[in-house]
C-alpha cells in the first residue's frame, strides 16, 4: 500500500468514526506526501470529566507508575490540546501503556495491538455491534492510535554529538540526567525495537561512566571541608531531623535553640505535644568520609 493509500484509508476510518483531523502535505520528491498532525478526540464533556478528574470513573492515575505518567498526558491534553490533540501525544500514551494489562475494557483493542483489522472494528461500530459511545475513553484513544500510527507527523531524528567534558559542573549534571533516565527506563515497555533500546542503554552508560570518573577525581573541589557543630536530634528515630532547607545541623548551639523555639511556639498554637519532648540538641561532626557522627 502506498503512502497516499494509507493516508486515504486512515482519514476515511476517522471520518467514519466522526473524528475530526488535521493534515498537512510534506515535500517528499517526486510528489507530496500527506500526513496527519492532530485529531480531535471524540469525547463528551462527561467523558472528559470521567477520565481527567481524580474522582472520575475512568481516572487511571492511581494504579501504578505507568498509569500515573499516562494520566499526566491525558490531563495535559485536557488542559492544552482538547480541541486539537497532536498525534505525537497519542504516541506518548501508546509508548507508556503498551505493556500495561487489564486497563482497557474493549478486548479487541489495546495500545500494544489490535486483534481485528481496524476496518472491521470501525465497521462493527458503524453497524451498532459495538457501541462507540459505551467504549472506555482509553479504548477509543487506542483505536484511533492504530488508525493513524502509520501516517502521522513522526518526529524527525536529530543529530546528537556525544561530547565529553572535564567540567565538574557538567559531570554533576550528566550524572543526574543519566541516573534519572536509567531509573525510569525499565518502568514500562517501549514501542521501539529492542535493538534501539539496547543502544540507548549503552550510550547512557557511555555518558555516565566518564562523569563518575570526573566527579571522583575532582570531588575535593566540591567539598567545603569537615564540620563540627550541633544537630537537632529525634528521640523517636535516634537520628538528625531535616526541614525544607536540609539537615538541621548548625555551627552553633544557639542556632539550634532558635529553631526549636519557633517549633515550640508552633506546637503550642496548634495544641500539640511540646516539640521539645521529641527533639533535643547534640554535638556532631560531619565529613564526606563518615557522614554525620554524634559526639
pLDDT of amino acid 245:
83
| Segment 219-232 mean pLDDT | 88
pLDDT of residue 250: 94
- According to the model, what pLDDT value does residue 40 have? 93
What is the reported pTM?
0.59
Kindly report, residue by residue over 120-171, the tens digit of the pLDDT: 888 888 888 888 878 888 888 989 999 998 888 776 555 545 565 667 777 7
Tell me: the pLDDT tens digits for 39-83? 999 999 999 999 888 888 888 877 777 788 888 999 999 998 888
Q: Give how far Cα 56 sits from Cα of 51, 59, 62, 102, Å.
A: 6, 5, 12, 18
| pLDDT score of 105 | 53
Region label for 86, one of left (φ > 0), alpha (ψ between -120 and 50) or beta (otherwise): beta
CB 120 within 8 A of CB 83: no
pLDDT number for residue 39:
94
Q: 50 versus 4: which is more confidently predicted?
A: 50
pLDDT band at 21 (very low <50, low <70, confident <90, very high): very high
Residues 75-118: tens digit of each pLDDT: 999 998 888 899 988 988 888 887 665 555 555 567 777 777 88
Least trusted range by pLDDT, from 30-39, 68-77, 233-242? 30-39
Instruction: Please provide residue 237's backbone torsions phi and psi, each rounded to the nearest 5 degrees.
Output: -105, -10
How far apart (Å, rounded) are the C-alpha atoms in residues 181 and 224? Answer: 29
Mean pLDDT of 12-35: 79
The domain ranges of the chain are 3-148, 168-219, 227-294
Is the distance from CB of 283 to CB of 294 less than 8 angstroms? yes
Q: Give residue 191's pLDDT.
A: 58
pLDDT of residue 137: 86
ω before 30 within 30° of 0 (cis)? yes
How does residue 226 score in pLDDT terms, banded at 50, 70 and 90? very high
Amino acid at each position: 500500500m502506498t503512502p497516499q493509500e494509507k493516508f486515504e484509508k486512515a482519514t476515511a476510518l476517522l471520518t467514519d468514526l466522526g473524528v475530526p483531523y488535521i493534515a498537512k502535505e510534506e515535500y517528499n520528491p517526486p510528489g507530496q506526501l500527506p500526513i496527519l498532525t492532530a485529531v480531535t478526540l471524540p469525547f463528551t464533556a462527561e467523558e472528559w470529566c470521567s477520565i481527567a478528574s481524580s474522582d472520575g470513573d475512568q481516572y487511571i492515575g492511581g494504579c501504578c507508575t505507568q498509569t500515573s505518567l499516562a494520566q499526566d498526558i491525558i490531563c495535559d491534553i485536557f488542559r492544552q490540546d482538547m480541541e486539537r490533540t497532536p498525534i505525537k501525544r497519542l504516541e506518548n500514551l501508546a509508548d507508556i501503556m503498551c505493556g500495561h494489562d487489564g486497563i482497557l475494557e474493549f478486548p479487541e483493542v489495546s495500545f500494544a495491538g489490535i486483534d481485528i483489522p481496524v476496518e472491521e472494528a470501525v465497521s462493527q461500530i458503524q453497524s451498532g455491534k459495538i457501541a462507540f459511545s459505551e467504549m472506555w475513553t482509553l479504548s477509543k484513544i487506542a483505536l484511533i492510535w492504530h488508525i493513524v500510527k502509520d501516517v502521522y507527523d513522526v518526529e524527525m531524528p536529530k543529530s546528537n554529538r556525544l561530547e565529553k567534558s572535564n567540567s565538574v559542573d557538567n559531570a554533576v549534571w550528566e550524572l543526574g540526567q543519566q541516573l534519572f533516565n536509567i531509573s525510569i527506563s525499565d518502568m514500562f515497555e517501549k514501542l521501539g525495537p529492542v535493538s534501539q533500546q539496547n543502544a540507548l542503554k549503552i550510550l547512557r552508560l557511555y555518558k555516565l561512566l566518564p562523569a563518575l570518573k570526573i566527579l571522583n577525581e575532582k570531588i575535593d573541589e566540591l567539598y567545603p571541608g569537615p564540620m563540627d557543630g550541633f544537630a537537632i536530634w529525634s528521640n523517636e528515630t535516634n537520628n538528625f531531623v531535616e526541614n525544607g532547607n536540609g539537615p538541621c545541623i548548625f555551627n552553633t548551639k544557639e542556632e539550634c535553640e532558635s529553631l526549636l523555639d519557633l517549633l515550640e511556639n508552633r506546637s503550642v498554637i496548634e495544641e500539640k505535644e511540646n516539640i521539645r519532648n521529641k527533639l533535643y540538641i547534640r554535638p556532631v561532626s560531619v565529613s564526606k568520609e563518615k557522614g554525620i557522627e554524634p559526639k
